Chains A and B, each alone.
Chain A
Amino acid sequence: MMDAETLVFVVDDDAPMRESLQNLLRSVGLRVEVFASAQEFLRSTRPDVPSCLVLDVRLPGLSGLELQQRLAAGDMAMPIIFITGHGDIPMTVQAMKAGAVEFLSKPFRDQALLDAIQQALARDRAAHEQRAQRDALRRRYRSLTPRERDVLALVVTGLLNKQIAGELGTSEASVKVHRQHVMVKMGAGSLAALVRMADRLGIPTPQV
């Protein structure tokens, strides 16, 4: 029911609980990796595929909420589903504020967990895709020469070739050539597409 290119991480210090979760998730065809502590999870190498984390709030050593903060601070954020034996309201609020997908009290309905996992994976898949696109765009931008980047920055502000040449102190003909290279290297079919790319790269463009 789900593609193989996803992964669910489970962190719970209670071995029977951990194993039961693994069992449950495997039974619906999800790939699962389990860890007994937050440190163990942080030490592991995780493949770069859409994934989510099922996390017990109370853990020996680093707690679940601390792990959530640690991941967010380290730019390793992924959707998190918290599970707990006795969650209280402040703890729930803190976790949800920090971006948790769901907060489940043990024992929970299996469908509730599975729904939350599906939602989390969908969210991460989208984020993953967006990240990949942005990386590709950045890669293309890095392939530009410094002069081509200058030209790009001026083209997207709507200047004519002549004005750009004046701005950069060069000839109109050479601006034309640079501009052509920029369009090809960035894979932009039109000026509008180039402006959108620049916007996503954080290069200032005129705001309509």
Chain B
Amino acid sequence: MRNLVQPHGCTWAAPLDRDAPHEAAGGVFGFALCPFAVIAYRDAEVTRSALTASAYQALFAAASQTALRLDTFIAATANVIGTQAHMPPLGEFLSLPAADQEPAETRIVDILQAFAQKNPAFTASVAVLDVHGRIVLDTQRANVGLDESATDAFRSALETGLPHASQLEFSASDGKPSLHFSSVVHAPDGRLAGVLREQYSAAVVQQMVAENNRLVSPQSFALVLNEDGLLLADGHLSPGQLSDGLFKATRPLDRARVSALRTRRLLPQEFAQDIVLHFPGLVGGLEKAGQPAPYFTLQLSNNRGPQYAAAVTHMKTQPWMVLFLQPQEVFLAPVRTQTRHTVVLALGVVGAVAATAMGVAQLLTGPIIRLMAVARQVAEGNFGGKVLVRSRDEIGALANAFNLMTERLTATLEGLRQSEENYRGTYENAFEGIWRVSPDGRVLSANPAMARILGYASPDELVASVSDIGRQLYVHPQESHGLLSTYAEGSAIVGRELEFYRKDGQRIWVLTSGRPVHDEAGHLRFVEGFVTNITRRKRAEEELRRSEAYLTEAQRLSHTGGFGWHVASGEIYWSEETFRIFAYDRAQTPTVAFVLQRTHPEDRAFVQHIIDRAAQERKDFDCEHRLLMPDGSVKYLQVVAHAMERAASGDLEFVGAVMDVTERKRAEEALQNAQAELAHVTPLTTLGELAASIAHEITQPLGAVVNNASACVRWLAAQNLEEARQSALRVVADGHRAGAIIGRIRALAQKAPPHKDWLDLNATIRDVLALARSEVHRHGVVVETHLAAAVPRIRGDRIQLQQVLLNLVMNAIEALSGVRAGARTLRVSSDRVTATEVVVAVCDSGPGFEPQHVARMFEAFYTTKPHGLGLGLAISRRIIEAHGGRLWAAANVPQGAVVQFTVPTGSEGVA
């Protein structure tokens, strides 16, 4: 039903989400850009080829200029050394026999130094060699004597007789990369005298290359390679520097080539095959250079690096190539700028066109979009919207028809909603649970009361959670099958009590009714059920039944029967147990006569009297009397009754209990007899416990006797008679002490018949403390006595009073063992409280009494000690009471317990 309120109809509205005008504008925009892109591309290509051609020419010119500069330097330097070699002093010097050369050496060295000064930055050494290639003199003194006969410089000079410039090679003397210039020296007589050799650092080439770097642009630079592709100079590097980048191969070299180059000193000795610089495009470019033009492009590192444009030219004086390079991006920069401008222009034009197109589209589609928006609202269930279209065209007519339609819909819906709300109110707010259940046990729908009864948060949760009510809800699932088969037969069910599980697993009782709903074909569609929670009622019933059962059982166990007596009618109600107590048959109706008949003949008059008085005075009564049973046995009864007036009639009624107390009576009698016996037994038991302690008492004087006697013997042996006499006297005193102890024990152990005597309570206290002394020490207890001087003598049984005191003292000591050593104090005091009473108190600093024990501590057999008999205090109280006194216990201040007793003073007065 809810579906009527919120129809699902949004799917057909989906196409509206796409915006046609924007789509069109996007298309126009994209399409208009194409020609611009073509134009921009063409333009860029033309510019690029023009710029590239011009850059190549500039690079070739720069390469040629650099090559010319290097050629000029080498040729000029070679010429100069040719001239220098002709200087007569050199020839004269070299033609002298070796032995005579020495005086002239200084002058020749000066000359060589002068040669070196011509280009001091790069000249490594200047030397003269004899005809055998041995260095005779050198500006680098260390080189003198070295053999350079194998070098290119020496041999070429000798062979050609012309000035010679070497390759860039690694010097035989110092191993550094160098250029060697050499020329033959002739003696005055014209024969060969030797060779003049100048060594230039390779840095001179690097310097000249670096100086020419910027011939084309700030980013341009030159490279110099030899015929084997070895890198000799690199404009990238700083001028004059010879770094690791040099003398590496720009193309792979086979092993034979490497070895040949190394022999000619054109490679460093540590050159390894893998030190090959990879300049993609270089090898191919060089091969192609000059056919038709000496230009190509290359990269200086692996493929990701920038592209360089390069031009190459060959030198004349050396088999070297000079490359001039420039990054393509430098000279192609104008192409990028041009492209950017074209793109900006294109975007501007196309944007303007697209905006115009959108405006026009908006104008046309506006009314349709508004109509769609209102239609969407209707689809979402909101019928309030109106389409505002004023045009008189087809769109205007459509809008009017649409508005009419929504008004009708609104009216119909309102009617439906009203009627639905009426039923829904009943359904939603009912206290009864209402649900529909499918034949297979699914919950199809439910009202909030149903969910509440079953403990679910909402009907939806109930519907979602329960897929089989028989299995999930019924405590006894077979009941569910029974109900379903009844429904399937077409019958309704009224007022069935069932046990259900709530969501939380709690069991509840429900009262359920239901009716089956069939479809046209007669199949059971669902069951409509009504459910009421009757758990509370069920529980109350259960409770009542149980309490009745308990009551009966309790009466039986406690031998207590109940009765009711309606005085006016004489009607009497007896419970089962009452029948049992009176030993009457349950079938009979009890009467007052019935009761009197069973009553013990001696008590009959008493019972009659009680009954009469109760009826007359209308008051509660209780009494004890005996029954004489048919078998001759006697039962003791305790009867308690409560008078009540019936609310309606005001008739008197008694309700009460009859308790069979026979067993208790018997137990009390037995206990009294037992206590009388135990009054004699207990002192001996206590004595037994004390025997071990008292043994210690005797060993003390005995030990002293032995020690003093031993000492006496020794003093006698030492002839010290005075000390010996003192020792003997001590032996006598100790002996007496032992005797006194034994006397006290004997007095305690005698089972003398109780006989009262005049006695001194303080002396009795002292005697008892002496007996307990050993226990006191064993437990580390400190004893204080506060004995009043003016305590009169009392009349009593000494042994019995000692027994009471000993009992109280031992109890106190035991209590003290529960507290920390050092805090164990026992105080015994005596005092005269009134003219006729003396009080004796035994206080301890122990843990005190538990409140629940205080009430019962004087009962016989009540004890808190694991091995106690529970007789001590009971007997003590009996003894004190036999003496006409009182015995009681209280809490001590600040802690512990105090047990005290009074005894009356005799008429004898103060002793």
Contacts and interface: CB of A to CB of B under 8 A. Distances in A.
Which residue, B705, B730, B780, has most C-beta atoms of chain A within 10 A? B780
Given A27-B715, A107-B705, A110-B710, A60 B782 contact: yes
A59 B776 CA distance: 10
Contacts of B822: 61
A16 B711 contact: no
Given A60-B777, A60-B782, A61-B780, A17 B707 contact: yes
Contacts of A59: 777
Interface in B670-717: 692, 695-697, 699-708, 710-711, 714-715
A17 B778 contact: no
B699 to A, nearest CB: 4
Contact of B730 (A19, A61, A63): A19
Nearest to A110: B710
B733 interface: yes
B793 to A, nearest CB: 30
A63 B734 contact: no
B837 interface: no
A193 to B, nearest CB: 47
A19 B733 CA distance: 12
B718 interface: yes
B732 to A, nearest CB: 11
B785 to A, nearest CB: 15
A24 B710 contact: yes
B737 interface: yes
A106 B703 contact: yes
B734 A16 contact: yes
B715 A108 contact: no
Interface in A1-42: 13-14, 16-17, 19-21, 23-24, 26-28
Given A60-B780, A61-B782, A107 B733 contact: no
A27 B723 contact: yes
Nearest to A105: B699
Contacts of B718: 27
A110 B712 CA distance: 11
A23 B711 contact: yes
Contacts of A108: 703, 706
Contacts of B723: 23, 26-27
Contacts of A60: 777, 780, 782
Contact of A27 (B706, B714, B778): B714
B727 interface: yes
Contacts of A28: 714
B706 A110 contact: yes
B714 A16 contact: no
A63 B702 contact: no
B711 A24 contact: yes
A58 interface: yes
A86 interface: yes
B703 A107 contact: yes
A85 B692 CA distance: 10
B726 interface: yes
What size tier do the contact residues of chain A reach? 20 to 34
Nearest to A25: B711
Which residue, A23, A27, A61, has most C-beta atoms of chain B within 10 A? A27
Contact of B711 (A26, A58, A83): A26
A106 B710 contact: no
A28 to B, nearest CB: 6
Contact of B780 (A14, A63, A86, A110): A63
B514 to A, nearest CB: 82
A23 B708 contact: yes
A27 B711 contact: yes
B819 to A, nearest CB: 14
B214 to A, nearest CB: 65
Contact of A20 (B692, B715, B730, B774): B730
B777 A20 contact: no
What size tier do the contact residues of chain B reach? 20 to 34
A20 B782 contact: no
A21 B730 CA distance: 12
Interface string A147-184: 00000000000000000000000000000000000000
Contacts of B780: 60-61, 63
A23 B704 CA distance: 10
Nearest to B693: A86
Contacts of A83: 703
Contacts of A14: 700, 704
Contact of B707 (A13, A20, A58, A61): A20
A87 to B, nearest CB: 10
A20 B704 contact: yes
A83 B707 CA distance: 13
Contacts of A107: 699, 702-703, 705-707
Interface string B600-617: 000000000000000000
A106 B714 CA distance: 20
Contact of A16 (B692, B727, B730): B730
Nearest to A106: B703
A83 to B, nearest CB: 8
B711 to A, nearest CB: 4
A161 to B, nearest CB: 52
Contacts of B692: 86
A112 B696 CA distance: 20
A83 B778 CA distance: 15
Contacts of A16: 700-701, 704, 730, 733-734, 737
Given A17-B707, A27-B718, A106 B782 contact: no
Interface string A54-85: 00001111010000000000000000000101
B742 to A, nearest CB: 15
A76 to B, nearest CB: 21
Interface string A88-120: 000000000000000000111010000000000
Contact of A17 (B695, B700, B727, B782): B700
A36 B710 CA distance: 22
A60 B782 CA distance: 7
A28 B782 CA distance: 36
A86 B726 CA distance: 28
B695 A86 contact: yes
Contacts of A63: 780
B699 A85 contact: yes
Given A20-B707, A24-B708, A107-B699, A13 B777 contact: yes
A75 to B, nearest CB: 23
A113 B861 CA distance: 49
A83 B822 CA distance: 23
A19 B697 CA distance: 17
B703 A20 contact: yes
Contacts of B711: 20, 23-24, 26-27, 110
B707 A85 contact: no
Which residue, B708, B774, B822, has most C-beta atoms of chain A within 10 A? B708
Nearest to B730: A20
Nearest to A63: B780
Given A16-B701, A60-B782, A107-B702, A85 B696 contact: yes
Which 6 A-B pairs rank lowest in CB-CB distance, beginning with the nearest? A110-B710, A106-B703, A20-B707, A85-B696, A27-B714, A20-B704
Interface of B: 692, 695-697, 699-708, 710-711, 714-715, 718, 723, 726-727, 730, 733-734, 737, 774, 777-778, 780, 782, 822
Given A14-B704, A27-B711, 17 more contacts: A16-B701, A16-B730, A20-B707, A20-B730, A21-B707, A23-B730, A26-B723, A58-B778, A59-B777, A60-B777, A60-B780, A106-B700, A106-B702, A107-B702, A107-B707, A108-B706, A110-B710
Interface of A: 13-14, 16-17, 19-21, 23-24, 26-28, 58-61, 63, 83, 85-86, 106-108, 110
25 contacts: A14-B704, A17-B703, A19-B730, A20-B707, A21-B707, A23-B726, A23-B727, A23-B730, A24-B711, A24-B714, A26-B723, A27-B711, A58-B778, A60-B780, A61-B780, A61-B782, A85-B695, A85-B696, A85-B697, A86-B692, A86-B699, A106-B700, A107-B703, A108-B703, A110-B711
